Structure 1
Amino acid sequence: MASAHGPGEQSTAGYGPGAYGEAPYDGAGTYEHGNGAATYADGSRETAARAEVPHAGGEATPSAAPPSAAYGSAAAATAEPAATAPGSAASDPVVDAFGTLGEPAGSDGRRSMPLEGPHVLWLVTAGAMDLFAVDAAAQGHWHFLGRLEAGTLLLGPVEGPEHTLVGRPLRECGLRRIELRELFTPEHDAYGAYGATSAYGAPYGAAGYGGGAASPSALDTAFALGVGRGLRVLHEAPLDGEVTPEAGHPGVTGGTDDDEIQWMRLEPGSVQYGAVFSQEAASQLLVDGRAWQRMVDQQFRLLSALDRWIERLERAHEDRTAAGIEAGEAVRAQADQALLASIDTTGKGAAEAARATDDDTLTVARLAAGAAGIELSAPEESSSLSDRTNPVERIALASRVRTRVVKLDGRWWRRNAGPLVGHRSGSGAPVALLWRRGRYEAVDASGERVRTGRSTAGRFEPRAVMFYRPLPEEPLNAWQLLRFTLRGTRMDVRNLALGGLVAVGLGALVPIATGQVLGEYVPNAETSLITQVSLAIVLSSLVSAAFMLLQNISILRMEGRVEAALQPAVWDRLLRLPTKFFAERSTGELASAAMGISTMRRVMSGVGPIAVQACTVGTMNLVLLLFYSVPLALMAAALLIVIAGAFFGMGVWQLRWQSRLVDLNNKLNNQAFQTLRGLPKLRVAAAESFAYAAWAREFARSRELQQRVGRIKNWTTVLNSVYLPLCSLIMFMLLAGPARGSLSAAGFLTFNTAVTMMLTSVTQLTNSLISAASALPMFEKVRPVLHEPTEVRGGSAQPGALSGAVEARQLSFRYSDDGPLTLDDVSFRVEPGEFVAVVGASGCGKSTLLRLLIGFEKPVSGSVLYDGQDLAALDQSAVRRQCGVVLQNAQPFVGSILDSICGAEIYSHEEAWEAAEMAGLAEDIKRMPMGMHTVLSDGGAAISGGQRQRLMIAQALIRRPRILYFDEATSALDNETQRIVSESTRKLRATRIVIAHRLSTVMDADRVLVMSAGRVVQQGTPAELLADTAGQFHALVRRQIH
């Protein structure tokens, strides 16, 4: 007989098909109840299933047995009478027997019914209730088990299994809640208790039985029938849509090990439920509790089996989901490869372009770069670049020039995007796309030119490469920056000058015509001349409007060219500056320096055209005044100088406060940025109010400065409104007094109109200059970027492919000129492929040494050598491209995990997964819902500290670097993960220089450098240093152990 035991269960009887009514064992290995039929008190019979049982230790397998045979469910032996259909409550013996016990459970309109615990029996008296298995700890997926029809008794779920039972009553479902204490009747002794077990042949209850089997009472049968129905739902549960149990279902154990099924011999002669069973006492289950305990154990085994089955289903679902994600990633990878092939920015994505020779590519690239004013250098042979980058990218890296990809779509040959490097479709031959006479021309390496058009545009690949012109390496002033900005805008400047000359000529026409018409033609009634002059003025206005349109178009073109050239050049210059520059400035200052150029351009683009037009019109009218009357013209010029001086003084006054306002706004921006980044720390310290108070004080000061600047602007506006009428009044007084009679009527009208136009031009000019004054504080913030020398100069040599040899030769360093030495005469050499650990107390200079090795700081004396080459004379960015570096408190990029691992370079999904495997991060990524595409917030707050470190390690390892620098890169990792990282880095055969404190990391090193007070005080193998009991390394290890 098959029996499954719950935890801690000790059973001497098997739970066969007659779990609630034992039958004699026939001695032939077959268990039958009434020769295979269940006979009830009312005379009804039902055929029971058979289950073979081993005889005398032999083995047997279930024969024609339902799944209940393995679990000993009562369903088989107490199947319902053939005459009674489930759900027929009116004639159901279970409802008749127990329908008056307990209390009704309100189930109408309830979506779920908690079934409490095993101290409660639930009876379905009418309708039906669906039964579900749900996670006991957290409400998750509901697994449908079956439907409890009328006449079903269900014991409340036991504690222990991961899943519990929840009911969902259907419409018009009737339920009764029966507590087991209601079934207790103290009048019966142990042998008269329902659930007591008697010896074979001993009296059992009032009925007792001798050598034969006792006939169960009607209530005994009703109880077994109701409980059997409930257990049948559990062991035949069609989980997740399965109609019948199949292999692996909890109802079909087949003797599996994990279900802990044992075949054992069933002793004959005893019954589990006696004849003393009344509707009032219900056989006193709680007298000794053994029958009740067996019911609990039976349910425990079934729910435990359901746990394992649901776990297998969920695991299969996760596997299917993971397979779907992997399939999606594979499809995306194929799409990425197809896209990269069209973009043509890497060696893998530019198969056709790779077929072109490097010489042809260099020739074509120089044609395109020369048209943009860029000088290119031929790249040196470097295996670290040739395997991943195409010829165009190698040329750009060697020349320290930024590039971007341009999409050639639509009528691209008629839109000037600057000089480009493209490729012919199919052959991949490089061509220079140069703008000439309103469209592009394609120039190949041989010099052959082909004008592009609708018919020839399809001959080129849909992607091209554009070079960005960098700023000169020497410090720049404002004039040099302006010259750099205006390069390539000669035609636009010419159009602006032409428009200005026309404006000057037409500007003189208005006052002259006004004087002639009002002074001569109107008094003489010369209507024809008046009409002619009026038409001339209208015509001049149309011509002026046309040239103004030409000016505005030229200005827009210049703005676009200036923005496209200047802003990327400033960002490029900013990125090329040494790290010391960024350490000395706040985030707000750096943001102002980066974006200040764009703000200045917007200000100047609005001011420039107005200022140019005002100057030309004002100058022409001043010449006209001198022509009519020199004394009056000099008087007007004097008024102009006075007014200009007043405006200049107000502008300087405004500039003073404007500069303070810019500084304060930078401070506010930096404070807001730091507050937002440090908000978790502020909340831990309960310091939000202090942070807000600090920000509010600075914000109040900025508002005060804004009000002062606003008041100055208001005074300027008032002066603009007053001085023009005042100047006109002064001129009238002069003509009425000292200059009386010096001008005719026509000359006076012309002079007065010219003075008015000149003063109006001055008004426009002063307003423009005051607006332009706000750009001066912004330029002061950009000036350090323009004056700071770049990290890599034009004379820097290329390092070539590094072997991994690193040497520090008499290094000394201090952070400030008057500060103490952080490093003092440090010297050592690391051979290619060697693993060197640097240890020491905090503050001894380990991290500073690493910053010098990678070129972030410059030593006061001494040098760092790579393959015998001084790092100061090398292109340090080219050196770092062959190194993998993980610094303390390194933060991942904002974006997906894939983007963070790959960085700015293009790698395949397979390479990213391999890097994650090497860093011990792959399993963590697989458990994330989006896998490699999981998005990380700023600072990687969504992942743990150990995962963040492993992510940065994966980013360093994906390039297969020749040299690895780790600064406490594994401090947050457990020993197993650290072992994986160490083994992965060892297989790379790269030179490893690791700063660490953990003994497990240090003991694997080939050599250990012990630092103290900026000096190397010990070096050798770990074993040698441990043997020196008086050394500092031995003391460091001893402190870790103890």
Structure 2
Amino acid sequence: MEAFLEIIRQEAKPIQMTVNTPFLMDTPGKVWFIDQGQINVYTVQLKDGKPEGQRFYFFTAEQQQLLLGLDSANSVHHIGFSADATKDTLVYEFDLARLKELALTSNYSPIIAGLISDWVTNLFFGISENENHPNKAANVLIKKGERVILREGDSISAQKKVVWAVIKPRKANTLLINGSGKLDQPTKELLLPLCRESFWESNGNLGLKFIGTTEAIQQEAAWQGLEALDNTLFALEKNAIDFVARNEQIRLKSKYQNQYIKTIQTLKDAEAILNREAADKYAKGLRVQTDDVLFNACQVVADPAKIRLVPPLENTKEGYDPIGDIARASKVRYREVLLDSKWWQQDSGALLSFLKEGDTPIALMPVKGNRYEAYNPVTKEAFRITEKNQHLIDKVAYTFYKPFPQKKITLIDLLKFGLFKEKRDFYILIIMGLAGTGLGLITPILTGVLFDTVIPNAGKSQVMHVGFALFMALIGYILFELTEGFALLRIETKMDHSLQAAVWDRLLDLPASFFRKFTTGDLADRAMGINEIRKLLSGVVITTILSSVFSLLNFLLLFYYSVKLALVALGISLVEVLIMYWIGRWQISKEKQALNYDGKTQGIVLQLLNGISKFRVTGTEIRAFNHWLKLFTKSKQFSFEAARVENIQTVINSIMPLLASGIIYWTFFSSSEWGKLSTGQFLAFNAAYGAFLSSILAMSAASLTIFQVFPIYERTRPILETLPENDDRKSNPGRLKGNIEVSKVNFRYNKDAPLVLNNISLQLRSGEYVAFVGASGSGKSTLIRLLLGFEKPEVGSIFYDNQDLNKLDLRLVRRQIGVVLQDGQLTPGDIFSNIVGSSPQLTMDDAWNAAKMAAFDEDIKQMPMGMHTIISEGGSTLSGGQKQRLLIARTLVHKPRIVMFDEATSALDNRTQAVITESLNKLQATRIVIAHRLSTIRNVDKVFVFDQGKIAQTGSYEDLIHQEGLFKDLATRQLA
């Protein structure tokens, strides 16, 4: 290389470049060699031979790489390439003819072959980076010396190094480069390059023989082939620029719509004050005006629940799941439901469905009387669902779930969230409770009338009238109680539906670091705490509290009859309340400790069950049992003490009525009230006080239940108060291309712990195959966790396609990454469901293709039930190698752009590993492998050697194995 550099420096023209001093690479006979620094190459649009408008990044040429002049002047696409230094850069310009001369010499041909290979790779790397021309997964990978027949439907790519093939003039029009690129009709044979970043297809059978770059550049046909590619590259880039411009328009339009969602809704709310009856009563649900009828129907369905939907960006739609696209863009959950035979006669909430004819989306909206209307966003008309027309609607529908606000959730927030659309039932509950209490006042009043007036006058007819009044009051009370009970039941059901779904949605959105704080069983117990609170506060408790509040009317009636006796009754009630408060505080302390130990017990039970086989192997069943029994005993001890407190309260409540009556009677007979109150008035007072005291005692009993809510809520608070890892400020990453950059990252798991990663920096290009190696604890798996967003760097940044991971929606990033862990778990079910998961677009053929890529298809065929073979809990029906291959198939079925393997092939033999490696090469994804068996990474592009949280070495396998250092030491120990 030094001799070649010497020739360049002597013969070529030096050009000292600085930042923002670009030049057009528009001279076909010229070559530029980068001696120092680096150059960014941009695609530019040309007008009169000069750059105009925005420039688009194409690729970066590094030190000791070449740039070749391109014939942009004769391009019909008005596209060119501009070179601009990223820092002070020294470039040498010389003639292409001189380069060709040097390529014919044995001393310099290998060097120039490497330079030309880098140039070709850079060109097609820039092409593959464009979303309009994604790098296709080739089904055949080519090495030099191979002969292939490229048939229609096939796709080929270079396995690793650039290869060249002869294209005859009569066959040139059948070749498709990167999906759509075609050659101008050549007049002579050409040698065309094929690299890993490009792929070829054909409209017909095309016989090809491939040679290496060193052999190719010694033929004029290779240089003519590079020249012939110019116009093809310009055509592909022109399409890419148009595609980017369209996407930018879509992005800006979506951004504009999202910014004005709240403004539009505010204006509509203001309009509703003046115009209560709109011509289209469902139009208020259309917060964002779009031409997408499915999105409009979804908005109408989501509006009653106050769910704000956001239209998905065009370039992020997955196509096969449009409802899922909307839900993911809006950060809400949805699920599929089945409409039964009489679905329109019961309120199941707002639903989204489709008309069978034309597949038109419609909003199914509940109306009064347990009936449904169907709103058609196309015609903007609604019609009532009946027995006669219900068959027009598809039986599959969808419902959306409202998430919690992206803030810390308090107990008041929980009540507001659960009752936000149940105000009508809540008002009914209050009104019926007040009405029932009002009717209850009739009993003491009529008691006084009966003993003071009716009985002394011996009026039989009056007795009948009083009896009839009491009977009617009883009937009214029963009806009020029934209405109150139905309203309460509706509130409970809808609160449980909305609250529990929101809690689990919040739990699934929490950062991965949150889950380190709790065991699985303990966390599940905490998540179900909301449901426990709802059960504790439902039914009798709410009714009792409301009745107790409304019993104040009886308390006021006491003062009507006797102020002195009423004050005595008030004193007794205050004593009861103080006792209730003291016992409640006592109970809370016991319940809190019982729940904490119960959570620990739940957590350890799950771990013990999963480890039964290990306990039997090691003979430690007794130790495991003792560990569980210790926690269980503590839990039951505090539960017993809490129950004893409740028993004390029950005894006090049993004594209080007798004690209170005795005090009231003694006060009455020993005071001046004896002569003031008539018998009827005293009995009326006593009846009113009895009702009031019963309410106080009932509330006392209910308070014990209420006090249980607080320790349960305390356990649930971490889930409610931890903020989700994704919020409205996180942006959509779009379709990832596979570029990853880690810049000066430091990380530690705890503030006082040592650094696990120390100043880590690395850069991976799309399609690269790299390995992380090193001793256990050197930071390899931790870096994978950071790349997945499970942890956040203490210092530094991580970028995907030049986008800061900290600012991206992590759910949408992870959907595009395939991850296989050494201890990955299978889902109970059959093999097919384990491979395709819940993806509706994946078919049985997709599952078989993925199994073949993972070298698992033959194993499945040998199973009696094939793809429908049942997998038990923990996957015990499969061997270790079969589990790993099934996990790999589950990853590859989605054809991710980035794949991460953490010792995912440790249980596989060499042949199986070779098949999987070949499949990954065809996928053309960016691949990161953590490996301890160094023999499995011989074919990777680059190896990063980790040592105590730092990257100690970087290079290819062959380079590192011959260098003194940690990698060679690791390899030597394994070979030994």
TM-score (norm 1): 0.65
Separation (CA, whole Å) in 2 of partners of 1:601 and 1:801: 42
Which residue is 1:409 aligned to? Answer: 340
Separation (CA, whole Å) in 1 of partners of 2:452 and 2:697: 28
Which residue is 1:351 aligned to? Answer: none
Aligned residue type for 1:1011: F
Which residue is 2:493 aligned to? Answer: 560
Separation (CA, whole Å) in 2 of partners of 1:617 and 1:799: 56
- Which region of structure 1 is more displaced relative to structure 2, 539-548 or 579-588? 579-588
Which residue is 1:191 aligned to? Answer: none
Q: CA RMSD in A?
A: 1.4
- What does residue range 727-738 of structure 1 map to in structure 2 within 5 Å? 727-738=660-671
Instruction: Render the CA deviation track for 1:456-508: whole Å, top value 9, x for unaligned.
Output: 21221111110011111100100011000112111111211220121121011
Q: Choose which of 902, 921, 935 in structure 1 pairs with 2:836.
A: 902
1:816 and 2:750 matched: yes
Aligned residue type for 2:415: L
- What does residue range 335-354 of structure 1 map to in structure 2 within 5 Å? none
Q: Choose which of 302, 305, 317 in structure 2 pairs with 1:369.
A: 302
1:617 is displaced (CA, Å) by 4.4
1:473 and 2:406 matched: yes
Which residue is 1:1034 aligned to? Answer: 968
1:696 is displaced (CA, Å) by 2.1
Aligned residue type for 1:503: G
Instruction: Render the CA deviation track for 1:75-106: whole Å, top value 9, x for unaligned.
Output: xxxxxxxxxxxxxxxxxxxxxxxxxxxxxxxx
Which residue is 1:602 aligned to? Answer: 535
Q: Choose which of 689, 694, 712 in structure 2 pairs with 1:778.
A: 712
Aligned residue type for 1:421: L
Q: Choose which of 881, 904, 909 in structure 2 pairs with 1:946.
A: 881
Which residue is 1:955 aligned to? Answer: 890
- What does residue range 760-775 of structure 1 map to in structure 2 within 5 Å? 760-775=694-709
Whether the 8 Å contact between 1:360 and 1:445 is mirrored in structure 2 is: yes
Aligned residue type for 1:494: Y
Separation (CA, whole Å) in 2 of partners of 1:872 and 1:488: 35
Aligned residue type for 2:449: Q
Whether the 8 Å contact between 1:610 and 1:764 is mirrored in structure 2 is: no
Separation (CA, whole Å) in 1 of partners of 2:318 and 2:550: 60
1:937 is displaced (CA, Å) by 2.0
3-state SS of the aligned residue for 1:518?
helix
1:775 is displaced (CA, Å) by 2.2
3-state SS of the aligned residue for 1:800?
coil
1:358 is displaced (CA, Å) by 6.8
Which residue is 2:933 aligned to? Answer: 998
1:693 is displaced (CA, Å) by 1.7
3-state SS of the aligned residue for 1:382?
helix
Separation (CA, whole Å) in 1 of partners of 2:629 and 2:934: 49
Separation (CA, whole Å) in 2 of partners of 1:607 and 1:437: 28
Which residue is 1:930 aligned to? Answer: 865
Whether the 8 Å contact between 2:580 and 2:703 is mirrored in structure 1 is: no
Which residue is 1:257 aligned to? Answer: none
1:878 and 2:828 matched: no
- What does residue range 778-857 of structure 1 map to in structure 2 within 5 Å? 778-857=712-791
Separation (CA, whole Å) in 2 of partners of 1:457 and 1:864: 53
- What does residue range 349-498 of structure 1 map to in structure 2 within 5 Å? 359-382=292-315, 385-389=317-321, 391-438=322-369, 439-446=371-378, 447-498=380-431
Q: Choose which of 672, 682, 693 in structure 1 pairs with 2:605.
A: 672
Aligned residue type for 1:399: S
TM-score (norm 2): 0.69
3-state SS of the aligned residue for 1:404?
strand
Separation (CA, whole Å) in 1 of partners of 2:633 and 2:745: 49
Give the number of the structure whose residues are more often strand, by fraction.
2
Which residue is 2:69 aligned to? Answer: none
Whether the 8 Å contact between 2:545 and 2:702 is mirrored in structure 1 is: no
Aligned residue type for 2:566: A
3-state SS of the aligned residue for 2:675?
coil
Whether the 8 Å contact between 2:434 and 2:550 is mirrored in structure 1 is: no
Aligned residue type for 1:856: F
3-state SS of the aligned residue for 1:856?
coil
3-state SS of the aligned residue for 1:406?
strand
Which residue is 1:978 aligned to? Answer: 913
Separation (CA, whole Å) in 1 of partners of 2:521 and 2:817: 31
Aligned residue type for 2:589: R
Whether the 8 Å contact between 1:839 and 1:1009 is mirrored in structure 2 is: yes
3-state SS of the aligned residue for 1:865?
strand
Which residue is 2:575 aligned to? Answer: 642
1:509 and 2:434 matched: no
Whether the 8 Å contact between 1:806 and 1:864 is mirrored in structure 2 is: yes
Which residue is 1:58 aligned to? Answer: none
Whether the 8 Å contact between 1:607 and 1:769 is mirrored in structure 2 is: no
Aligned residue type for 2:845: E
1:594 is displaced (CA, Å) by 1.8
3-state SS of the aligned residue for 2:874?
coil
3-state SS of the aligned residue for 2:314?
coil
Residue segments in structure 2 that go unaligned for 5+ positions in a row: 1-289
1:556 is displaced (CA, Å) by 0.8
1:392 is displaced (CA, Å) by 1.6
3-state SS of the aligned residue for 1:980?
helix
3-state SS of the aligned residue for 1:793?
coil
1:803 is displaced (CA, Å) by 0.8
Separation (CA, whole Å) in 2 of partners of 1:428 and 1:635: 73
Separation (CA, whole Å) in 1 of partners of 2:834 and 2:660: 67
Separation (CA, whole Å) in 1 of partners of 2:565 and 2:624: 64
Which residue is 2:959 aligned to? Answer: 1024
Separation (CA, whole Å) in 2 of partners of 1:846 and 1:638: 71
Whether the 8 Å contact between 1:735 and 1:741 is mirrored in structure 2 is: no
Whether the 8 Å contact between 1:840 and 1:1010 is mirrored in structure 2 is: yes
Whether the 8 Å contact between 2:756 and 2:949 is mirrored in structure 1 is: yes
Separation (CA, whole Å) in 2 of partners of 1:815 and 1:958: 33
Which residue is 1:527 aligned to? Answer: 460
Aligned residue type for 2:958: A
Aligned residue type for 1:404: R
Separation (CA, whole Å) in 2 of partners of 1:415 and 1:406: 15
Separation (CA, whole Å) in 2 of partners of 1:770 and 1:800: 53
Whether the 8 Å contact between 1:921 and 1:950 is mirrored in structure 2 is: yes
Aligned residue type for 2:460: T
- What does residue range 287-302 of structure 1 map to in structure 2 within 5 Å? none
Whether the 8 Å contact between 2:903 and 2:930 is mirrored in structure 1 is: yes
State, as a whole percentage, how many aligned pairs show the same letter.
40
Whether the 8 Å contact between 1:381 and 1:800 is mirrored in structure 2 is: no
Whether the 8 Å contact between 2:822 and 2:906 is mirrored in structure 1 is: no
Aligned residue type for 2:329: A
Whether the 8 Å contact between 1:607 and 1:772 is mirrored in structure 2 is: no
3-state SS of the aligned residue for 2:311?
coil
1:608 is displaced (CA, Å) by 3.4
Whether the 8 Å contact between 2:525 and 2:602 is mirrored in structure 1 is: no
Distance 1:358 1:687, change over 3 A: farther
1:409 is displaced (CA, Å) by 2.3
Residue segments in structure 1 that go unaligned for 5+ positions in a row: 1-356
- What does residue range 224-239 of structure 1 map to in structure 2 within 5 Å? none
Aligned residue type for 1:422: S
